[in-house]
Structure 1
Amino acid sequence: MSIAATLLAASASFGWFSYDGADPVDQAVVVAPDEYRNPILQGFYPDPSITQVGEDYYLVHSTFSWFPGIPVWHSRDLVSWRQIGNAIDRPDQLDFGKLGMSRGVFAPAIEHHAGTFYILNTCVDCGGNFVITASDPAGPWSDPVWLPDLEGGIDPSLFVDADGNAWLINNGPPVGTPRYDGHRAIWIQKFDLATLKTMGERTVLIDGGVEPDTNPVWIEGPHIYQHDGWYYLSCAEGGTSLNHSQVILRSRTPDGPYTPGPNPILTQRDLPADRPYPVTAAGHADFVTTPDGRWWASFLAIRPYAGDFANTGRETFLLPVEWHDGWPQILPPATPIPLSLPRPLPADTAGAPPTSGAFAWREEFDGPTLSPEWIGMRIPREQWWDLAAEPGTLTLQVRPDGLGSFGNPSFLGRRQSHAHASAATSVTLQGDVGQAGLAAVQNDDYWLAIAVTRQGGTQKVRLLRRAGPEEVAAGIAVAEASVPASGPVELKAEADGATYRFSYRDEAGWHQLGPDQDGTLLSTERAGGFTGAVFGLFASDVP
């Protein structure tokens, strides 16, 4: 039986998918034509790493256990980005098994040297540290080459000196017994670009952080840069929550010793919590230069809608880097991240989708493949989706894996990019089993969904919720209503900060199904981990 025939036997067909989002700050902060808006990439795009090849810039992010993994973006103005591929896009590259959604691939670092692109990365609980390469950043990328000498560490990055010598830098355990929880070290080791193997002894560059006597935590995300005869080591420090920061050190040689400069060079932890439109948890920066010699930093930060609650995850921001007395600074102390600034380069927006501010888009499923922004939960081991079974539709096979199964459910989604947003679709359920619909997913234990079900010739819509591991994996049915026994059903999910609403449409119009739902369960403050919420389409035979 063909893939199309198999899918149609018990499946759901989605005719379109739309997204619309706008936050209050989008109206409050006016952006002039020669300015750009922060963040430059809204939604779950954490741990940005950037590299430059002539007038072209390339950016990558963490995706943890989502697949395809490690999106690769291209820009010529540092603001308008087009996703050109995913570095982890083949099921045989990595195996996420049944890992939680915040395990898998952490903090990739992209570099380019002599015609080859390199991504250094860690597959947490699924193999350790590795390097992949490509001649074209759009792919294909190679299979992982594992780096056993970096065992126990994360966040590897590559530095190639002007003399051609290459070095790997990463976070790892300190020498001996850690003195406190979060005590880590930054290590360096030579690297052979020809064989993709480490060489010689590993050396500790930082033990603990820039002020070891204060027991600093989670020094990580290291990058080395060369400037005016100095080697600068930039790292994140303080953990990825409110105390996140970026710190800087320098040395006359790549392998140290390094001396700390005025630190931190970026943080938001020294600002009042009640400031308007707060941005928090800033750090994990990577530097790049423009043709005129100016330095810029991409980094992550969070936009909470209340307190520490944020469903959009950690997003990508961009700021200029100023040099003072031989030291770089992204922001002075106690300075809020600017939400609009002059553009770093002339605008190059042709073909770039909206990624910042208020925007909307619609997917008609009328192409031969899905756009690279679509992601699913873990690695697929079979083809359960299709765009050709019914032209102009996305068909998902009804399968045993559900949203709470810690498997690979028939689910494809795209990131929630605003605290105030809506997603909608039209679904037709084939066969007399299973359910299919629209979900807002943070991870296996925390999600909300509206599903169409059919049993005994009747069709209903059902509101489902899973608000923690203590609730059943299939979710709790919160409400249901009858709809026509056949034909497509339109569904909608609306996010209003901490409140989510789910609706269906019939001949009389839209109807909210069940009461307002507590959307804080989709925040990392409640659900934990490092990701953000994803709106998506699903099908399963879970009752």
Structure 2
Amino acid sequence: MTEYYNPLISGFHPDPSVVRVGDDYYIATSTFEYVPGIPIFHSRDFETWTRIGHVATTAEQLGVSDVQTAGGAWAPTIRHRDGVFHVIITVAMGRGMLHFTATDPAGPWSAGDVILNAAGTASVDGIDPDLAWDDEGTAYVTYSALVLTGEDVGQHRGIEQVRVDLDTHRALEEPRSLWSGTGLKFPEAPHLYEHGGYWYLVIAEGGTERGHGMSVARSDSPAGPFVGGPGNPVVSARSTSRPIQNTGHGDLVEGPDGWLAVLLGVRPTSMTQAFSALGRETFVTPVRWVDGWLEIDPVELNPRRGTAVFSDDFDEPEFGLDWIGVRRRPDETGSLTERPGSLVLHADGSTLDDSRPVFVGLRQEHLRAAVTATFDVSAGVGGLGVRYDERFHYEIEAGRGRIVARASVGGIRQEWTRPFSGASVTLHLDVRPDETPGIGGTSDTVVLGATIDGERIDLAEVDGRFLSSETTESFVGRVIGVYAVDGTVAVDRVAYEGSED
């Protein structure tokens, strides 16, 4: 068995789903409130993955323009049938359960059709939908029945299923209960597979935190009844000291040299493995079919070594695929044509405390990272920040006669300032892993600084644990980007260097 990299796709890339088409593999992941949404990654060897496009290129396709934090694009499933790629997803607190199609996974994708209930009056009420077809071509949508609307909002009915007409996007029946796991909390992320004469239902349960895991049941029919397997959960890191925790929410595929599961996990640090700076990432682990049941290996850490380098001088008229915005596209907050060779940001009264900041960002994908951005702040105030959500963010900004480093943690704010009268400045945001021995460690340290007249000056070193998934509970991960809060600022260059060493 090939030893694959783990993380397979690092940084904020949770809830992975995978499909194989010939010798090509495609993965889709969740994006919550960020736009463009639902990235598609491609590989031919299951080692090198390239982002080739997004399913949703606008906030309107998902309905996330005003979605609350932790809502948005949850847990896609990607499948392929008769030359057409399908993605089905629930946009929580947004448009509901949606079905997208494309003949090219790089896009363009369809606008997204709502999967209606049998009455045709509303979206099917649930999350983490799976799409599968039986031998007659009947489409089955299997989902986690978390109620998102109405007077029963927040209730959970386990794993349910409906047959769907994908031409009219309407359920052909009332929801049926399938199998809801072994009794652990929050059965979710169902996927159906036909293999060796059986239909297998793989789900996640135990919650997406330390108790997360995957369990399996099987049936003679995609509609059930399903019987749980003898070894459930088939994968979990709960109550272990493995470097990858929260393993679950997986999808199966036949890889280059054997079956594999892609699944989410986190890499917590500190002595008690308490803080996961990068949030939920995509991992991979081998799978075997033994005596008609599923066996999944524990997820092993195998990070990519060396230094990854990314830079953008903003010489192109369009944003690259790595750039994302908060509840709106990058080109809705920044222009690449107004001043060729620069990204121009016009403040609109928002700050990083707001749900729709003037912010264009990149995912932090390494435990050690150094990001620099060169600004012209002669006509405004802007900066370089790292964001988990509008309540948890750190930033360094310049303009209007000063440089400010700031930490915002759940309503608590601290600032460090120094005078600055120039127009051009290079700002720095460094992430350094914690090396504190014994009790008292944290995830990492975020250093906020500026280069002024050729000399780098660090204004603040901030504890990174407050920008971790365990602290914020936002489901996402760190996004580092540039922003404007007053007037107009121009960004001439952004450079990112990251490593796991």
TM normalised by structure 1 equals 0.81
* Matching of residue 535 in structure 1 with residue 485 in structure 2: no
Match of 2:470 among 518, 525, 534: 525
Query: Residues 330 and 256 (structure 1 numbering): CA distance in 2 closer, same or farther, change over 3 Å?
Result: same
The structural deviation recorded for 1:412 is 0.7
* 1:504 partnered with 2:450: yes
Residue aligning to 1:445: 391
| Structure-1 separation of matches of 2:487 and 2:393 | 15
Alignment of 1:56-205 (within 5 A): 56-149=24-117, 151-173=124-146, 183-205=156-178
1:79 to partner: Cα distance: 1.9
Identity %: 34
Distance 1:443 1:496 in 2: 21
Q: Distance in 1 between matches of 2:59 and 2:5?
A: 36
Query: In the alignment, what sits opposite 2:406?
Result: 464
Change (3 A) 1:371 1:324: same
Match of 1:489 among 410, 413, 425: 425
Q: Judging changes above 3 Å, is the alpha-carbon distance between structure 1 residues 152 and 374 closer, same or farther for their aligned structure 2 residues?
A: same
1:348-405 alpha-carbon deviations (Å, 9 max, x no partner) = xxxxxxx776422222222221111111111259833111222222111122111111
Would you say the 8 A contact 1:412–1:536 is kept in 2? yes
SS in 1 for 2:172: strand
Output the CA distance in 2 between the equivalents of 1:125 and 1:357: 40
Larger mean CA deviation between 316-325 and 238-247 belongs to 316-325
SS of the aligned residue for 2:61 comes to: coil
Summarize deviations over 1:269-298 as a string: whole Å, max 9, x none.
141x4x5xx110000000111366x21110
Residue aligning to 1:373: 322
Q: Which moved more, 1:247-256 or 1:319-328?
A: 319-328
* Contact 1:100-1:444 at 8 Å conserved across structures: no
Quote the residue 1:360 is aligned against: 309
Alignment of 1:304 with 2:253, yes or no, is no
TM-fit CA distance, 1:115: 1.4
Task: Tell me by how many angstroms 1:122 deviates.
Answer: 0.8
Count of aligned pairs: 466
Q: Secondary structure at the match of 1:139?
A: coil
1:461 aligned partner, one-letter code: I
**Structure 1 SS opposite 2:332:** coil
Secondary structure of 1:36's partner? coil
Q: CA deviation at 1:35?
A: 4.2
Alpha-carbon displacement from aligned partner over 1:76-123 (angstroms, at most 9, x marks no partner): 112211111111102431332433331111001111111111111111
Residue pair 1:298, 1:316 contacting (<8 A) in 2 also: yes
Tell me whether 238-247 or 488-497 shows the greater mean CA deviation: 488-497
Pick closer, same or farther for the CA change 1:267–1:288 going to 2, 3 Å.
same
Name 1:263's counterpart in structure 2: 232
CA offset digits 1:474-495 (Å, max 9, x no partner): xx45111223422x20111111
Name the aligned partner's letter for residue 418 of structure 1.
Answer: H
- Written as runs of structure 1 = structure 2, the 5 A alignment for 1:3-82 is 35-82=3-50
Letter paired with 1:235: I
Equivalents in 2 of 1:59, 1:364: separation in Å?
A: 29
Mapped contact 1:130–1:146 kept (Cα < 8 A) = yes
Q: Could you tell me which amino acid in structure 1 is paired with residue 259 of structure 2? A: W
The question of 1:289 aligning with 2:289 is answered no
> Structure 1 pair 542/222, CA: closer, same or farther in 2 (3 Å)?
farther
Instruction: Tell me, yes or no, if the aligned pair for 2:86 and 2:102 is still in contact at 8 Å.
Output: yes
In the other structure, the counterpart of 2:286 is: 320
| Cα contact 1:101–1:377 (8 A) shared by 2 | no
Q: Matched residues in 1 for 2:330 and 2:370: separation?
A: 31
Structure 1 runs not aligned, ≥5 long:
1-31, 175-180, 342-354
After superposition, the Cα gap between the structure-2 partners of 1:380 and 1:113, relative to the gap in structure 1 and judged at 3 Å, is same
1:349 maps to none
TM-score normalised to structure 2 length: 0.88
Does residue 389 of structure 1 match 2:338?
Answer: yes
Query: What is the distance in 2 between the residues matched to 1:43 and 1:68?
Result: 16
Q: 1:107 to 1:164 in 2, by over 3 A?
A: same
CA distance in 1, matches of 2:53, 2:245: 29
Measure, in 1, the Cα distance between the counterparts of 2:68 and 2:430: 26
Paired with 1:539 and 1:39, the residues of 2 have a C-alpha distance of 33
- The whole-number CA distance in structure 1 between the counterparts of 2:306 and 2:192 is 32
Q: Which residue of 1 aligns with 2:496?
A: none
What letter corresponds to residue 143 of structure 2 in structure 1? N
1:256 offset after TM fit, Å? 0.5
Determine helix, strand or coil for the equivalent of 2:466: helix
| Structure having greater relative contact order (Cα 8 Å, sep ≥ 6) | 1
- Give the secondary-structure state (helix, strand or coil) at the position aligned to 2:106: coil
Tell me what 1:339 maps to: 301
Q: Matched residues in 2 for 1:164 and 1:42: separation?
A: 36
The aligned amino acid for 1:388 is T
Could you say what secondary structure the match of 2:471 adopts?
helix
Aligned to 1:21: none
5+ residue gaps in structure 2? Answer: 118-122, 148-153, 434-443, 489-501
- Say which SS state the counterpart of residue 426 (structure 2) adopts: strand
Which residue does 1:211 correspond to in 2? 182
